[in-house]
């Protein structure tokens, strides 16, 4: 969230602060169901990582694919943590 003209109103600044606080604070799992969601996402990403390792030659592209998969896992879990 940002103000396009560079002159933020106090309200806009509060919204930015709230977003930053939400982004950069620790979000403990709220309940068992949320923990299970994290575990399922990690397990699915790990399975795909093993499939990629099996099918794709050891290469820069494999490395990049695994890094992207790390990003997928992080963003999926962050989406749950920040928005539930």
Residue 47's domain comprises 31-83
Is 14's pLDDT higher than 70? yes
Q: What is the pLDDT of residue 15?
A: 77
**Whether 6 and 36 share a structural domain:** no
What would the mean pLDDT of 42-51 be, rounded to a whole number?
98
Q: How many domains would you assign to the chain?
A: 2
What would the mean pLDDT of 41-52 be, rounded to a whole number?
98
What would the mean pLDDT of 13-29 be, rounded to a whole number?
85
**Whether 41 and 78 share a structural domain:** yes
Q: What is the pLDDT of residue 11?
A: 62
Is 64's pLDDT higher than 50? yes
Six-digit token pair at 5?
């003209």
**Whether 23 and 38 share a structural domain:** no
Mapping DSSP onto H, E and C, the string for the chain reads CCCCCCCCCHHHHHHHHHHHHHHCCCCCCCCHHHHHHHHHHHHHHHHHHHHHHHHCCCCHHHHHHHHHHHHHHHHHHHHHHHHC
Residue matched to tokens 């950069």: 24
Distance (Å, rounded) from C-alpha 16 to C-alpha 20?
Answer: 6
């Amino acid at each position: 969230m940002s103000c396009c003209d560079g002159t933020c109103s106090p309200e806009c600044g509060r919204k930015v602060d709230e977003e930053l606080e939400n982004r950069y604070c620790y979000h403990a799992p709220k309940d068992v169901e949320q923990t299970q969601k994290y575990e399922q996402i990690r397990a699915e990403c790990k399975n795909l990582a093993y499939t990629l390792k099996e099918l794709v030659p050891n290469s820069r592209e494999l490395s990049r694919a695994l890094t992207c998969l790390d990003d997928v896992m992080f963003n999926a879990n962050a989406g749950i943590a920040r928005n539930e």
